[in-house]
Structure 1
């Protein structure tokens, strides 16, 4: 399911979602727009006022919906993709959870407005589904699944992500497991290699080290770029979103700086 809250990133989000659907044995594809209409919200007065203020800059909920639908229809006509269009009027979190309960993957572009930010948060922390984050800066890779990188740490989030991403990893032409700044024990990738082998996936292993003052996220992205990866698979927000935002956690920095789509799960 591609979540389309912003017309400006809709084509990019839909394109990556289509590639993901094709890679995973042509999974059915749907596009969802959540229409946050202040007149139909049962919420705090402050939230109602925020939504009304947005209309001055972004247009009404109906206008935002019309723009997103227009981009969707143009993309669908050009691409020839078979994709269902879904609209849901209501609060972002409850609407997304209701519509995505049967989705194998939720695809969301890097957020630049309130609704898409809320949708990304709900998808990661509330849906229990694998999320595919689509960056909006720079050129996207032209393919998905030629070379996937697994950012590995022996953590619950990473294990969950890998297991949920198996349909895509199994279809990938090449998989590389990357660790960054791990000690000798952490560099032992036996667990992930055996996990992948159990599902018919062979993988290479690559160990990276940060340079002085370099963030782990930058080293990870540099490693992925240097080997020509087209996507990253990683656990998300071990310590929570607010903690990472304040202290510059790895997930926060990867999502802020990546130019590759990122499969992730909390």
Structure 2
């Protein structure tokens, strides 16, 4: 069965509205694709897990309430958002561990939308979405105002890497919907040949793009350069490959994906 829906993963009530809003825009961009909202209820009473994991989940209740409390809060925000927006959205809830539950629920997903995590469940969900589902992920930042549009001007952060190629291929429905595409190549050759591959991929879909070759300044992180260029061209979204070296490595050494997700105020389409 072909992937045919956008799934917004709602693990935190505080970020649910933002995630749903961006997910709805993404669904509307590609022919009113069906939208579902998923909450995974990590209930320690129903988990088969090590004692340490069980204890950790129980300790969370002191700060975040029980798993049932978190579910009720997320569902309440979802219902308020649906009432306000008038959107037709299917509600899904799954009790179990994050990874297996997410994999089970996104089998028909063309895209997984998930907000910047602020608790353990959403952090685990983001990791599982990127590394375990085989689906493209739309990362929704939670700091600062969101752009008023999505996909009108998309920036592709290009490196000739497997992850970037997969990101472009799997997000092609959204690239086809874009009014303007800009390719940003940071610290690459300025001969233009480094972008021949991506230009060829776009041309196969009858798409064209502007190309910007830029250099990082002394001491500037590549992620900062990507984001400053995206701001310069007034982009409203980014497409990029995710975690070439793995999440832990990038967290320790400040990899590009980790830093983009930490700093971005734009939604990011990405694929590992």
TM-score above 0.5, yes or no: yes
Shift of 1:80: 0.7
Q: Select which of 159, 162, 176 maps to 2:165.
A: 159
Coordinate RMSD, CA, aligned: 0.9
Could you tell me how far 1:63 is from its partner in structure 2?
0.5
Q: Which runs of 4+ in 1 moved over 2 A?
A: 183-188
SS of 2:211's equivalent in the other structure is strand
Shift of 1:186: 7.5
Give the structure 2 partner of residue 123 of structure 1: 129
- The SS at the match of 2:18 is helix
Query: 8 Å contact 1:154–1:186 — kept in the other structure?
Result: no
Task: Give, in angstroms, the shift of residue 183 of structure 1.
Answer: 2.8
Partner residue in 2 for 1:264: 270
Q: Distance in 2 between matches of 1:126 and 1:185?
A: 37
What CA distance in whole angstroms lies between the structure 2 residues aligned with 1:123 and 1:187? 33
1:137 corresponding residue in structure 2:
143
Gaps of 5+ in 1: none
Give the deviation of 1:185 after TM superposition: 6.3
State the match for 1:227 in structure 2: 233
Q: Secondary structure at the match of 1:34?
A: strand
The partner residue of 1:33 within 33, 39, 60 is 39
Q: Count residues with an aligned counterpart.
A: 266
**Structure 2 contact 130–137 (Cα < 8 Å) conserved:** yes
Residue 188 of structure 1: how far off its partner (Å): 2.5
Answering whether residue 245 of structure 2 is matched by residue 239 of structure 1, we say yes
Contact 2:188 2:194 in 1 (8 A): no
Structure-to-structure mapping, 1:45-56, within 5 angstroms: 45-56=51-62
Alignment partner of 1:169 is 2:175: yes
- When normalised by structure 1's length, the TM-score is 0.99
Deviation at 1:53, TM superposition (A): 0.1
The residue that corresponds to 2:3 in the other structure is none
- Give a deviation string over 1:105-158, Cα, whole Å, max 9, x none: 000000000000000000000000000000000000001011000000010000
Q: Does 1:102 align with 2:100?
A: no
**What is the rounded CA distance, in whole Å, between the counterparts of 2:116 and 2:151 in structure 1?**
20
SS at match of 1:104: strand
Counterpart of 1:114 (choices 115, 120, 136) is 120
Answer whether contact 1:37 1:90 (CA < 8 A) is retained: yes
8 Å Cα contact 2:141-2:261 kept in structure 1 = yes
Consecutive unaligned residues in structure 2, runs of 5 or more: 1-6
Post-superposition offset of 1:184? 4.3
How far apart are the structure 2 equivalents of 1:3 and 1:19?
A: 15
Q: 1:139 to 1:97 in 2, by over 3 A?
A: same
TM-aligned CA deviation for residue 208 of structure 1: 1.4
2:257 aligns to what? 251
Q: Could you tell me which of 30, 42, 45 is aligned with 2:48?
A: 42
Once residues 80 and 173 of structure 1 are traced to their aligned partners in structure 2, the CA distance between those partners, rounded to angstroms, is 26
Give 1:91 deviation, angstroms: 0.3
Q: Which residue of structure 1 aligns with residue 203 of structure 2?
A: 197
